Structure 1
Amino acid sequence: MTSLCNFLLSFQNRNHMRYLFLILIIALLASCSSAPATPQTMRYIGLKVYDPVYIAQARGLFAQHGVEVELLNLVAGGPTALQAIAAGQAEAGLSSIPAIINANQAGLPLLGVADIQSVLPNQALKHWYVRSDSSIHNLSDLRGKKIAINLIRSSFDYSLDLILEQAGLERSAVEVVLLPFDQQGTALLSGHVDMIGLLAPYTGQLEAQAGAQVRVLLDGHAVFGPQRQISQIVVNREWAEAQPETARRFVAALREAADWASAHPAEARPIIAAATGVDTAAIPAYQFAPGGRVSLEDAAWWMEVLRRRGDLTSPTLTAAQLARNLGQE
Structure 2
Amino acid sequence: MPAAPARTRTTTSRRQFLTLLGISAAAVSCGTATASGGGGGGGGAQLKKLKYQGSVGAVSLPELAADLGYLGDVTLDWVGNTISGPQDIQSAATGQTHFGGAFNGAVVKLAAGKAPIKAVVSYYGSDQYSYGGYYVLEDSPIRSARDLIGKKVGMNTLGAHYQALLDIYLSRNGLSKADAAKVEALVIPPVNTEQALRQKQIEVAVLSGVLRDKALAAGGIRPLFTDYELLGAFSAGTYVMTQRFIKENPDTVRTFVTGVAKAIEWSRTTPREEVIARMTAIVKKRGRNEDTTTLQYWHSYGVAETGGRIGDKEFQLWLDWLGERGEIKKGQLKAADLYTNEFNGYGKGA
Q: TM-score range by the shorter chain?
A: 0.7 to 0.9
Aligned residues of 1:127 and 1:218 also touching (Cα < 8 A): yes
Give the distance between the partners of 1:159 and 1:276, measured in 2 at CA.
30
Aligned residues of 1:55 and 1:261 also touching (Cα < 8 A): no
- The one-letter amino acid paired with 2:297 is A
Judged with a 3 Å threshold, the aligned counterparts in structure 2 of structure 1 residues 295 and 184 are, in CA distance, closer, same or farther, namely: farther
By how many angstroms is 1:69 displaced?
Answer: 1.0
Secondary structure of the residue aligned to 2:142 is coil
User: Where do 5+ consecutive residues of structure 1 fail to align?
Assistant: 1-36
Match of 1:92 among 93, 99, 109: 99
Give the distance between the partners of 1:103 and 1:278, measured in 2 at CA.
34
Judged with a 3 Å threshold, the aligned counterparts in structure 2 of structure 1 residues 257 and 319 are, in CA distance, closer, same or farther, namely: same
Give the distance between the partners of 2:161 and 2:197, measured in 1 at CA.
20
* TM-score normalised according to structure 2 size: 0.74
Give the distance between the partners of 2:180 and 2:260, measured in 1 at CA.
38
- Give the aligned partner of residue 200 of structure 1: 209
Secondary structure of the residue aligned to 1:61 is coil
Judged with a 3 Å threshold, the aligned counterparts in structure 2 of structure 1 residues 114 and 313 are, in CA distance, closer, same or farther, namely: same
By how many angstroms is 1:325 displaced?
Answer: 1.4
* TM-score normalised according to structure 1 size: 0.78
Give the distance between the partners of 2:151 and 2:92, measured in 1 at CA.
36
Give the distance between the partners of 2:262 and 2:50, measured in 1 at CA.
18
Aligned residues of 1:128 and 1:216 also touching (Cα < 8 A): yes
Match of 1:73 among 43, 60, 80: 80
- Give the aligned partner of residue 184 of structure 1: 193
Deviations 1:189-241 (A, max 9, x none): 23222112233354334434xx21222221123321x2332111222222111
Structure label with greater radius of gyration = 1
By how many angstroms is 1:135 displaced?
Answer: 2.1
- Give the aligned partner of residue 65 of structure 2: 56
Answer yes or no: is 1:41 the counterpart of 2:38: no
By how many angstroms is 1:271 displaced?
Answer: 4.6
- Give the aligned partner of residue 279 of structure 1: 294
Aligned-residue CA RMSD (Å):
2.6
Aligned residues of 2:91 and 2:100 also touching (Cα < 8 A): no
Give the distance between the partners of 2:260 and 2:82, measured in 1 at CA.
22
Which structure's residues are more often helix, by fraction?
Answer: 1
Judged with a 3 Å threshold, the aligned counterparts in structure 2 of structure 1 residues 282 and 207 are, in CA distance, closer, same or farther, namely: farther
Aligned residues: 287
Structure 1 runs of 4+ with >6 Å offset:
none
Deviations 1:31-73 (A, max 9, x none): xxxxxx99810012224567322321332322xx220012333
Aligned residues of 2:121 and 2:341 also touching (Cα < 8 A): yes
